[in-house]
């Protein structure tokens, strides 16, 4: 099973600044099978980024994803109040079971 490790566990950033979230895989993951999700309290996760760098429909361009192999990054620029949430990376390299990272909580500084 591929283990995803996200860092940091909690990230404190001021509105208007840029947040950089990391996701490291225990073995190589195809970029086609790496996604990022945002979760707010009491809500289901929402797809932000698929294929490591493709924004989902309706996702603002301040969200961007990058990376390959075992290192992936989600960058959120010009942070807005609605961006403070928990972010999860997710890999689906080995059918049928995908795995999630443990999440990074983005909080207001």
Q: Which tokens in the block code for residue 27?
A: 């073995």
Using CA atoms, how far apart are residues 54 and 19, in angstroms rounded to an integer? Answer: 18
Could you say whether residue 53 binds other proteins (CB under 8 A)?
Answer: no
Shortest approach of other proteins to residue 33 CB, angstroms? 5
Could you say whether residue 46 binds other proteins (CB under 8 A)?
Answer: yes
Could you say whether residue 99 binds other proteins (CB under 8 A)?
Answer: yes
Strand ranges in the chain using DSSP code E only, listed in sequence order: 4-7, 10-13, 19-29, 34-39, 46-50, 54-55, 63-76, 86-91, 99-100, 104-108
Among 9, 14, 16, 44, binds other proteins (CB under 8 A): 44
Shortest approach of other proteins to residue 69 CB, angstroms? 17
Could you say whether residue 105 binds other proteins (CB under 8 A)?
Answer: no
Contacts with other proteins by CB under 8 A: the residue count is: 23
Using CA atoms, how far apart are residues 59 and 47, in angstroms rounded to an integer? Answer: 9
């Amino acid at each position: 099973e591929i283990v995803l490790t996200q860092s940091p566990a909690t990230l404190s950033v001021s509105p208007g600044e840029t947040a950089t979230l990391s996701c490291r895989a225990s073995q190589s993951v195809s970029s086609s099978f790496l996604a990022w999700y945002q979760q707010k309290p009491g809500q289901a996760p929402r797809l932000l980024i698929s294929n490591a760098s493709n924004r989902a429909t309706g996702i603002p361009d301040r969200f961007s994803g990058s990376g390959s192999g075992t290192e992936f990054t989600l960058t959120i620029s010009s942070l807005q109040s609605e961006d403070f949430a928990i972010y999860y990376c997710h890999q689906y390299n080995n059918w049928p079971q995908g795995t999630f990272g443990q999440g990074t909580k983005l909080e207001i500084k």
